Structure 1
Amino acid sequence: MTDTCTEAPSTYAASAEFAAQANATADLYDHANRDRLGFWAAQADRLSWQTPFSQVLDFSDAPFAKWFVDGRLNVAYNCVDRHVEAGLGERVAIHWEGEPVGDRRTITYGELYTDVCRAANALTGLGLRAGDRVAIYMPMVPEAVVAMLACARLGVMHSVVFAGYSAAALKARIDDAEAKLVITTDGQYRRGQAVPLKESVDEAISAGTDASTVEHVLVVRRTGIETPWSEGRDVWWHDVVNSASPEHTPEAFDSEHPLFLLYTSGTTGKPKGIIHTSGGYLTQTAYTHHYVFDIKPETDVYWCTADIGWITGHSYVVYGPLANGATQVLYEGTPASPDEHRHFEIIEKYGVTIYYTAPTLVRTFMKWGRDIADAHNLSSLRLLGTVGEPINPEAWRWYRDVFGANETPIVDTWWQTETGAAMISPLPGVTVCKPGSATRPLPGISARVVDDNGNLIEPSPELGEHASGYLVLDAPWPSMLRGIWGDQDRFRETYWSRFAEQGWYFAGDGARYDLDGNIWVLGRIDDVMNVSGHRISTAEVESALVGHSHVAEAAVVGASDEHTGQAIIAFVILQADSADGGKHMVDELRAEVAREISPIARPKEIHVVPELPKTRSGKIMRRLLRDVAEGRELGDTSTLLDPAVFEAIRNAR
């Protein structure tokens, strides 16, 4: 610790013992600063390439990048086969814990290899070819990881859809990707109950009048609950995968071959299908997993608590850890099932050494009280991590103290679905950390905080540390998104238009520097809310609300929340003939949003109001509604059509 503050240290350094054995050294920064492209070539060389690349980066058609030009590799081979060929087939790849206590499996790399080969042969038998799209709608079961790797092995693009999403949300993603196959389970366990899942797939495929592109639905028997069946279309996983050949020779694909689509919320309400490719994505996920998490594959047990439906699950549950030959925990259920001890029991049982989770969950643990954690032996933990949103300093210190005995380093990572891998983060053993700050860009990454005109906002003793601006990435990176599926104009407009003159990627987050040069990410500045690390657009929630027969108009904003980062606050105007504006209607509307989108999107508060604040052109001023939701003094109201509207809103709350 490097500060003598009487209340709490302001900075934290890893112990000398940790630093001495750390994967990262300060030389990484020196190498990247001296020869950035040479640095990335060295990281790419950690992978197995069938055909070496001839050029590290071609950015001549900006903003469309080509990384590791002419190189060919197979992502699944890098994640599975090469470890088996190196004699590591008996190493555990996955310790899987189902939500029902006692439901568990241990899967070695040799077993994972066999499972992936069988699944790849089964998918080929169902007519899948390189370039096709497959939707994966599954809980956290081993078959979900196998399905992703089987797709990667065949050059088929997977589109993983969070299993908590509704049929409508699933349909939108299936239709946009024109998926030929959906892989799902009969049901899933949630808080001790087996609930159906395939029914949502059937609804998504049959909804609407357009013919679906889906030719087959491949179903894993998870719960044994009664499952609706369409003969000729639906097939059981155990019928076609378990009987398939365990031998499969993978084909090498171009470095820029699309690996997957992952849909993220957009401000228009239509989800954006983010395209990630093979060589650059795997290079950066493997590199960051190795150095940021200080992974020692021979001895570590790593656990990232993210669902595979999110980018964190793609990069730091599937591709990064498996590319590095790591042993990891995969948990199906919720943190409080059957009780609040579950995560701590899992850490204790498997001797987890690296634990990577969301600040929302840390704050939930805080709310439960440290007595629960103190009832367990957490001494195996040697590194902690956070992801999804900025973590407040109080939660950071609690996490370090309670989980890490006030000694364990924490890596607070900033990145996005679009960036593919971690971009700003401490390097454990190298970086002196400040609670609440993701610190600095990783070696090989360039980021800056700028004003509206692209000028660098630098802190100074005279101005202090509170001048904030926009976070931009001013140089391409290997795992960067390559576009939006079917809409490259939207790709340019969304991410590259704001600072088009400079050629910078606009992250959509506000940020500031402190006097030591650390970056503090302040959260979203657009109309996409960040709820427990899940990005949900205001437009999606508003659309669900106005779909209710009694709602005339709705406006949604995100307000600061100590547990979830942001909470969804809705303001609705009811139809004139609606009699009930009370609690019953509010509960009904909250349930409607949960049905249409996901329980994650359920508004924390819904206020029935007589009017919404609008400009003279009819635009709703959500900025002012955020002021109301957070109890702040109103900002500039000069463009409002009727400034008196806020008196009516306050009276209605």
Structure 2
Amino acid sequence: MSSRIHSFAGYQAAYQKSVKDPEGFWDEIAQTFTWRQPWDKVLDWNFEEPRVKWFVNGKLNITENCLDRHLKTRGNKLALIWEPNDPKERFVRYTYRELHEKVCQFANVLRNNGVKKGDRVCIYMPMIPELAFSVLACARVGAVHSVIFAGFSANSMADRIKDAEASVVLTSDGLNRGAKQIPVKRVVDEALEDCPSVKKVIVVDRLGWAVKMLPGRDVYLHEELQKVEKNCEAEEMDSEDMLFILYTSGSTGKPKGVVHTCGGYMVYTDYTFRNVFQYDESDIYWCTADIGWITGHSYLLYGPLLAGATTVMFEGVPTFPDPGRFWQVIDKHSVNIFYTAPTAIRSLMAAGLDHVLSYSLDSLKVLGSVGEPINEEAWHWYHIHVGKERCPVVDTWWQTETSGIMISSLAGVTPMKPSHAGQPLPGVQPILVDQNGEEITENETEGYLCMKFPWPGIIRTTYGDHERCRLSYFSTYKNLYFTGDGARRDENGLYRIIGRVDDVINVSGHRFGTAEIENAINQNRHIVESAVVGYPHAIKGQGIYAFVICADQAPANPENLRAEVIETVVEHIGKIAKPDKIQIVSGLPKTRSGKIMRRILRKVAEGDTTNLGDTSTLLDPLVVDEIIQGAL
């Protein structure tokens, strides 16, 4: 049975069924997977504790569903295409049979090095095939993987290792990123000076560098692979056993270990992947996210492999060796479905059209956007110049905590509207509430975005601190999961995300989402990207402080530019939303996943730069000093 929806009527029918009988709906979809033992009960839940269990007492191993079940019919089909950082280096392709073998070998290496069911394994590795193998190998032996993006500082890594009490770290000697080579193992060694729980470090030889190896602790993967067989029995897991911990930055500064479990995560990522992207059997699919982020977990690795798809994994960056690299890779591998972040789209817009027009992009059928709301100008640029106005754009809204896409159009099936995520997926029950938690039922209104019913991929806990999970997501509004986002619902029921609630600016009693103001500013032809924060204002309560990046790094007349930006905002939103201060900057403080750290910008806007917290995890920490010096 295919769980893919093919028409708008089909979507409406599936959605109605999922709301009327959620358990029956997910029960039917879950039956399409390979289970060692069926479940006794589809769902057991309450949002007070919170406690959520899906497919209770069902037994499975997710890798048997990603790999083994495809061997009979798709053994020779391409599973993974790896595209290296340097276009002169040869790409590598793995069939499902070959990927299965690689994962089994890696799993045997883990077992040989003492890894057993329930152990936590931290993975700090570049975007090389071994990263994909290692994640799946952990799942195969029942170990809990925690991938740490290989750009975090030693301190950030140590925090995560200690919180997870990891016994093993998987890493590499170094990594390629654009024109740079970065010593990864050296960062691991520094982190492990303060991590007594780690007993083994397994090192992939990516660059052929001589690195320091601690006898008894550190081993090379290629040497360990000589000792193992190509088959590995998968560990039987309970549906609610932990699959992985993924750390996300918390408002307190201490990272939160978001926990997802085997059964529900499997069912949800497969279902959302097939439907949002309208995946066909012969499609080549490319998600540009790093596996260190939830997008890479769900929509580079698990979702596509569960669906038996061909997934592309890219080691490099969008601008190396030039800003045409994404488009070159699309043509080279005949990519049909392309999923990337607005940050990447905007940076490629700024590089000019020539880089896009040099490539045909004829193979593309579907475009996707993820990570933040995509502003209208970037949406249209993406749709017109990359998709040639023939590819639907899916603007997906979801979170690390939701594990998979929650609100989005289904490519070519349900309505799409620039800067609107769209409608909820079947099985997802969003509501808007006011500040008292009362549901807002009418359309053409905005409120706080909550979920009133669990879906299979919902967060189960924050590792080692369940109370933090309850306080963060389930305590704000009674019996609701609170997303932390504000949203607007239009007359047709399409949702537009207007930014984090802590990114809402209250100007003279009027609430504005930062994303809404940024979207307006970015309509100005001179502006490449912007970030907006609120700051204390004697008359309005909060004033609006905008940080803007110009297409022309040093505008001839900054005051004229500021006046133009104000005019643009007034035109798009109204006078009440015009920025009080506009600072021209060369860059914004971003995490390596492209998220703007507004906490830092807020401090600058407030004139309080004494305690900015750890800036080492930023893509470019030096940009913070420049912003402080230029503060208005």
Deviation at 1:429, TM superposition (A): 3.1
CA displacement, residues 350-387 of structure 1 (integer Å, 9 cap, x when unaligned): 10000001111111121112221111010100001111
Give the counterpart of 1:337 among 308, 320, 328: 320
Q: Which residue of 2 aligns with 1:58?
A: 44
Question: What are structure 2's unaligned runs of at least 5 residues?
Answer: 506-512, 516-543, 550-587, 589-593
- Structure 1's 34 and 133: CA in aligned 2 closer, same or farther, altered over 3 A? same
Q: Which residue of 2 aligns with 1:244?
A: 228
Is 2:141 aligned against 1:154? yes
Is 2:222 aligned against 1:222? no
Give the counterpart of 2:188 among 184, 197, 201: 201
More displaced 10-residue stretch of structure 1: 241-250 or 323-332: 241-250
Q: Secondary structure at the match of 1:599?
A: coil
TM-score after normalising by structure 2: 0.81
CA displacement, residues 227-275 of structure 1 (integer Å, 9 cap, x when unaligned): 1221111000101124311011112211001000000011111000011
Q: Which residue of 1 aligns with 2:495?
A: 519
Q: Which residue of 2 aligns with 1:139?
A: 126
CA displacement, residues 99-138 of structure 1 (integer Å, 9 cap, x when unaligned): 0223221111111111111111110111111000000001
Mapped to 2, the partners of 1:558 and 1:159 lie a distance apart of 37
CA displacement, residues 281-340 of structure 1 (integer Å, 9 cap, x when unaligned): 01000000011111113x100000000010000000111001111101110011111111
Contact (CA 8 Å) 2:44, 2:53: kept in 1 or not? Answer: yes
- Structure 1's 76 and 435: CA in aligned 2 closer, same or farther, altered over 3 A? same
- Structure 1's 531 and 131: CA in aligned 2 closer, same or farther, altered over 3 A? farther
Question: What are structure 1's unaligned runs of at least 5 residues?
Answer: 1-17, 533-556, 574-580, 610-649
Mapped to 2, the partners of 1:24 and 1:98 lie a distance apart of 40
Mapped to 1, the partners of 2:324 and 2:286 lie a distance apart of 16
- Structure 1's 421 and 96: CA in aligned 2 closer, same or farther, altered over 3 A? same
Q: Which residue of 1 aligns with 2:474?
A: 496
Contact (CA 8 Å) 1:179, 1:214: kept in 2 or not? Answer: yes
- Structure 1's 22 and 191: CA in aligned 2 closer, same or farther, altered over 3 A? farther
Deviation at 1:457, TM superposition (A): 3.0
| 1:246-395 to 2 correspondences below 5 Å | 246-297=230-281, 299-395=282-378
| 1:580-599 to 2 correspondences below 5 Å | 594=615, 596-599=616-619
Is 2:156 aligned against 1:169? yes
Task: Quote the sequence identity (%).
Answer: 44
| 1:547-558 to 2 correspondences below 5 Å | none
Alignment RMSD: 2.9
Q: Which residue of 1 aligns with 2:457?
A: 479
Deviation at 1:608, TM superposition (A): 5.4
Contact (CA 8 Å) 2:203, 2:218: kept in 1 or not? Answer: yes
Mapped to 2, the partners of 1:404 and 1:455 lie a distance apart of 41
| 1:443-454 to 2 correspondences below 5 Å | 443-454=426-437
Give the counterpart of 2:169 among 182, 186, 190: 182
Contact (CA 8 Å) 2:117, 2:235: kept in 1 or not? Answer: no
2:490 is aligned with what amino acid?
D
Q: Which residue of 1 aligns with 2:67?
A: 80
Q: Secondary structure at the match of 1:245?
A: coil
More displaced 10-residue stretch of structure 1: 424-433 or 160-169: 424-433
Mapped to 2, the partners of 1:39 and 1:604 lie a distance apart of 49
2:35 is aligned with what amino acid?
W
2:495 is aligned with what amino acid?
I
Q: Secondary structure at the match of 2:149?
A: coil
- Structure 1's 454 and 191: CA in aligned 2 closer, same or farther, altered over 3 A? same
- Structure 1's 411 and 570: CA in aligned 2 closer, same or farther, altered over 3 A? closer
Mapped to 2, the partners of 1:31 and 1:72 lie a distance apart of 26
Flag the structure with more relative contact order, 1 or 2, with Cα contacts below 8 A and sequence separation at least 6: 1
Deviation at 1:517, TM superposition (A): 1.4
Contact (CA 8 Å) 2:301, 2:311: kept in 1 or not? Answer: no
- Structure 1's 528 and 518: CA in aligned 2 closer, same or farther, altered over 3 A? closer
Contact (CA 8 Å) 2:7, 2:413: kept in 1 or not? Answer: no
Mapped to 2, the partners of 1:172 and 1:559 lie a distance apart of 33
Q: Which residue of 2 aligns with 1:437?
A: 420
Contact (CA 8 Å) 1:459, 1:514: kept in 2 or not? Answer: no
Mapped to 2, the partners of 1:283 and 1:600 lie a distance apart of 38
- Structure 1's 316 and 561: CA in aligned 2 closer, same or farther, altered over 3 A? farther
Mapped to 2, the partners of 1:242 and 1:346 lie a distance apart of 33
Deviation at 1:28, TM superposition (A): 2.0
2:189 is aligned with what amino acid?
D
Is 2:496 aligned against 1:509? no
Mapped to 1, the partners of 2:155 and 2:290 lie a distance apart of 20
Mapped to 2, the partners of 1:246 and 1:528 lie a distance apart of 54
Mapped to 1, the partners of 2:462 and 2:314 lie a distance apart of 31
1:65 is aligned with what amino acid?
V
Q: Which residue of 1 aligns with 2:523?
A: none
Deviation at 1:36, TM superposition (A): 1.7
Deviation at 1:567, TM superposition (A): 5.7
Contact (CA 8 Å) 1:23, 1:294: kept in 2 or not? Answer: no
Contact (CA 8 Å) 1:470, 1:509: kept in 2 or not? Answer: yes
2:234 is aligned with what amino acid?
P
Mapped to 2, the partners of 1:397 and 1:571 lie a distance apart of 30
Q: Which residue of 1 aligns with 2:562?
A: none
- Structure 1's 600 and 25: CA in aligned 2 closer, same or farther, altered over 3 A? farther
Mapped to 2, the partners of 1:22 and 1:375 lie a distance apart of 36
Deviation at 1:81, TM superposition (A): 1.0
Mapped to 2, the partners of 1:357 and 1:349 lie a distance apart of 17
Q: Which residue of 2 aligns with 1:116?
A: 103
Deviation at 1:570, TM superposition (A): 4.3
Q: Secondary structure at the match of 1:87?
A: helix
Q: Secondary structure at the match of 2:74?
A: coil
Mapped to 2, the partners of 1:214 and 1:565 lie a distance apart of 30
Contact (CA 8 Å) 2:173, 2:185: kept in 1 or not? Answer: yes
Q: Secondary structure at the match of 1:391?
A: coil
CA displacement, residues 565-600 of structure 1 (integer Å, 9 cap, x when unaligned): 746444779xxxxxxx9xxxx9x999x955x32326
**Count of matched residue positions in the alignment of Structure 1 and Structure 2:** 545
2:43 is aligned with what amino acid?
L
Q: Secondary structure at the match of 1:218?
A: strand
- Structure 1's 71 and 476: CA in aligned 2 closer, same or farther, altered over 3 A? same
- Structure 1's 528 and 456: CA in aligned 2 closer, same or farther, altered over 3 A? closer
Contact (CA 8 Å) 2:504, 2:514: kept in 1 or not? Answer: no
Contact (CA 8 Å) 1:159, 1:261: kept in 2 or not? Answer: yes
2:208 is aligned with what amino acid?
G
